[in-house]
Amino acid sequence: MFEEVSQGLVYETLRTYNRVPFAAYKHYNRLMRSVSFFDIPFSMTFEEFVDILKKGTRQIDRESRIKVLLSVKTAELFFVFSPLNISSVEEGVNVKISKIRRIPDLSTPPSLKITGRTDILLARREIGECYDVILTGVNGQVCEGSFSNVFLVKEGRLITPSIESGILDGITRENVIKLANRLEIPLEERFVWVWELFEADEMFLTHTSAGIVPVRRLNDHLFFEEEPGPITSTLMENFEPFVL
């Protein structure tokens, strides 16, 4: 696999819920978007894709995490199945603003999931004791975590950086937006200034493996002592029942 890794990979990370690969069609679609962007000579039907996922996850006797990796150069496809290990995130996590700015790379828009993005790699090196770090854009906007999307709550409104801010359109983000609509929580998708995070009432991250992850502390700013704020808690309680 070394050759393929060194030539670049497009990838997806999936997980199972109740041992069933979750949102497989959305991950398949996003993978295919990368395939067509890079013009990779690769084709696989959704049925074939799901079949491999099902066979692989059956080998694991609990919830699994699945990495799907596709070589940009050779179009070789790899599936890596592992038991899903998520540390308990309900009590909240600490995050910090990364020193790294999202590098506007017109050749590979942030909406494509590809390994080896310089900004992501450098940002991940800063994680240390934190759960994730938040990348900002050259215009001072909040972009996303190095492996997650960002949400904040201000005066009862849910706010998240728009796709145009230069982010990956996360599948969990999309589900949270749909859930907020269902719960009639007002939502804004827009350009978000970094200082708005520090003035927010609540903040959370979203990503496939852990779903909704409440943020307890951003740099030195404490969002809560005991329990995540009401909107984060409501979304967390309703997330699984809504998407499954």
Positions in the binding site for ligand PDD (CB under 6 A): 13, 120, 144, 147-149, 168, 170-173, 206-209
First-last CA distance in the chain: 34
Return the number of the residue (9 or 231) whose C-beta is nearest ligand PDD: 9
Give the pairing type, strands 93-101 and 132-136.
parallel
Buried b (16+ CB within 10 A) or exposed e, 67-87: ebbbbbeeeebeeebeebeee
What is the closest distance, in whole angstroms, from the C-beta atom of residue 168 to ligand PDD in the complex? 4
What is the closest distance, in whole angstroms, from the C-beta atom of residue 155 to ligand PDD in the complex? 26
What is the closest distance, in whole angstroms, from the C-beta atom of residue 27 to ligand PDD in the complex? 8
Return the number of the residue (41 or 107) whose C-beta is nearest ligand PDD: 107
CA distance 189 to 142: 12
Helix, strand, or coil here: 18? coil
CA distance 164 to 189: 9
Return the number of the residue (167 or 200) whose C-beta is nearest ligand PDD: 167
What is the closest distance, in whole angstroms, from the C-beta atom of residue 183 to ligand PDD in the complex? 19
The CB density around residue 140, as the number of other CB atoms within 10 Å, is 12
**Residue whose token pair is 């398949």:** 28
Return the number of the residue (87 or 226) whose C-beta is nearest ligand PDD: 87
Amino acid (one-letter) located at 128: G
Return the number of the residue (153 or 205) whose C-beta is nearest ligand PDD: 205
What is the closest distance, in whole angstroms, from the C-beta atom of residue 237 to ligand PDD in the complex? 19
